[in-house]
Amino acid sequence: MSRIHLLSPRLANQIAAGEVVERPASVVKELLENSLDAGATSLELDVEQGGVKLIRIRDDGDGIEKDDLALALSRHATSKILELEDLEAVCSLGFRGEALASISSVSRLTLTSRQKDAANAWQVTTEGRDMQAEVSPAAHPKGTTLEVRDLFFNTPARRKFLRTENTEFKHLEEVVKRLALSRFDVAFQLRHNGRVIHQLRPARSQPERERRVASVCGPQFIQQSLSVDVVAESSGISLRGWIGLPTFSRSQADLQYFFVNGRMIRDKVVTHAVRQAYADVLYHGRHPAYVLYLELDPALVDVNVHPTKHEVRFRESRLVHDFIYRSIHRVIGDVRPDAESVPAL
Ligand code: ADP
Ligand code: MG
């Protein structure tokens, strides 16, 4: 008898979920990214018990068509790419079509959505992905609500790895902060166990942006930072944002936000370039604080490196490294102790 068989879709999704869904924070990341990809301008997030009991995200995005509701929960189902070539220029945050399938396989999920001109909303509920998703009419304004309850209720081994409610919430809040820093034009609200934790209105002007950075990173950061605004004429690469004064250095690398074309990343090239720029103004063991935005031609970065997409690969990493190093070095140069003039803050 043959010993090789195909995995059931449910089991395949649960295995894939191991890659994408590690904890409540990863669910929130995927859901918020989907909402942003759908053009949402306002995101309301309610979580209970650190997100383990409930994660509910309501957006005012484009919504999902009735006939696509069940499909959205299937593996490799995406509206974002059609051809391999599309990956080259992908601008959306998601594109693998795995998140909803994975999340629905390890939770009790309800998806409710309404498109702009639809007569009413439609809803589909799944429980640990029992594949028989039934679509029924529902009441909902334009947009989508994803409700994820009882994460890992059917995968006790994974549930065991969850930490305390407080720790899980901190991770989840960090995801919200990153996205809030990446999309100043979008309103965010985060509630935990009924209490409002963050309420961020859209920030358009520079003072409004700084207010948002202050409310996400703490007012001390923005008070003790320098703004960066550098464009390289030849390559068109730009670096903007805020870097902490050397005196605002941290004992941990916990206030370092770096965005490449709007996407928060962690990258050795970037970290090295920033650290080098601070090398002679920071004490050993101290870490710089920064919120920085690098913009460059999408063809010069590969975002398809890892499923959680925290990593990128720069086509010209030397050029990117040197640009970041020189830009920051120059801004810090103005406040170096040996510099001629120290600008007032
Ligand atoms: P991906 O984001 O990689 O395409 P997902 O599993 O996260 O895959 O989502 C599957 C599809 O469901 C998306 O391509 C999108 O068409 C649709 N979708 C998911 N969430 C939303 C949302 N909040 N608003 C509109 N459409 C959504
Ligand atoms: Mg997605």
Give the ligand whose atoms come closest to the C-alpha of residue 97.
1
pLDDT of residue 95: 62
* pTM score: 0.88
Q: Is the CB of 60 under 6 A from ligand 1?
A: no
Angle at 92 between CA 288 and CA 318, to 5 degrees: 45
The candidate with the shortest Cα–Cα distance to 53, out of 186, 176, 193, 155, is 193
Residues with CB in 5 Å of ion ligand 2: 34, 94, 99
Task: With beta carbons less than 8 A apart as the criterion, state whether 128 and 9 touch.
Answer: no
Sequence ranges of the domains in the chain: 9-200, 218-333
pLDDT of residue 239: 98
pLDDT of residue 310: 72
pLDDT of residue 130: 66
Q: Is the CB of 93 under 6 A from ligand 1?
A: no
3-state secondary structure of 276: helix
Strands (E), the chain: 42-48, 54-59, 108-114, 121-127, 134-138, 143-149, 187-192, 195-200, 225-231, 238-244, 256-260, 263-264, 290-295, 301-302, 313-314
- Name the class of domain 218-333: alpha beta
Tell me the longest C-alpha to C-alpha distance in the chain: 82
Give the ligand whose atoms come closest to the C-alpha of residue 69.
1
Q: What is the pLDDT along the chain (345 residues), one digit of tens a residue?
A: 788 888 887 777 777 767 778 899 999 999 999 999 999 999 999 999 999 999 999 999 999 999 999 888 887 777 766 777 766 666 666 666 788 988 999 999 999 999 999 999 999 999 986 656 789 999 999 999 999 999 999 999 889 999 999 999 999 999 999 999 999 999 999 999 999 999 999 999 999 999 999 999 999 999 999 999 999 998 899 999 999 999 999 999 999 999 999 888 989 999 999 999 999 899 889 999 999 999 999 888 886 656 555 778 898 999 999 999 999 999 998 666 554 444 444
Q: Is the CB of 133 under 6 A from ligand 1?
A: no
pLDDT of residue 343: 44
pLDDT of residue 128: 84
Q: Is the CB of 75 under 6 A from ligand 1?
A: no
Assembly ipTM: 0.98
pLDDT of residue 56: 98
- Sheet-wide strand order for 225-231: 225-231, 238-244, 290-295, 256-260, 263-264
Q: Is the CB of 10 under 6 A from ligand 1?
A: no
DSSP state of 287: B
Task: With beta carbons less than 8 A apart as the criterion, state whether 55 and 27 touch.
Answer: yes
Task: With beta carbons less than 8 A apart as the criterion, state whether 90 and 303 touch.
Answer: yes
In ligand 1, the atom with minimum distance to the C-alpha of 101 is: 6
The residue whose CB lies within 8 Å of the most ligand 1 atoms, and thus the one to mutate among 69, 78, 86, 263, is 78
CA distances from 323 to 22, 76, 209, 292, 313 (A): 35, 37, 24, 13, 16
- Name the class of domain 9-200: alpha beta
Give the ligand whose atoms come closest to the C-alpha of residue 36.
1
pLDDT of residue 9: 75
Q: Whose CA is nearest to atom 8 of ligand 1?
A: 97
Task: Give distance in angstroms: CA of 38 to centre of ligand 2.
Answer: 10
The answer for residues whose C-beta is within 8 angstroms of residue 86's C-beta and 6 or more apart is 80, 95
Which stretch of DSSP H or E encloses residue 317?
helix 317-333
Task: Give distance in angstroms: CA of 182 to centre of ligand 2.
Answer: 17
Q: Is the CB of 90 under 6 A from ligand 1?
A: no
Task: Give distance in angstroms: CA of 165 to centre of ligand 2.
Answer: 25
CA distances from 237 to 231, 295, 333 (A): 6, 6, 21
Q: Record the tokens describing residue 270, joined without a space.
A: 């970037």
Q: Is the CB of 79 under 6 A from ligand 1?
A: yes
Question: What is the rounded CA–CA span in Å between residue 151 and residue 53?
Answer: 7
Question: What is the rounded CA–CA span in Å between residue 298 and residue 275?
Answer: 25
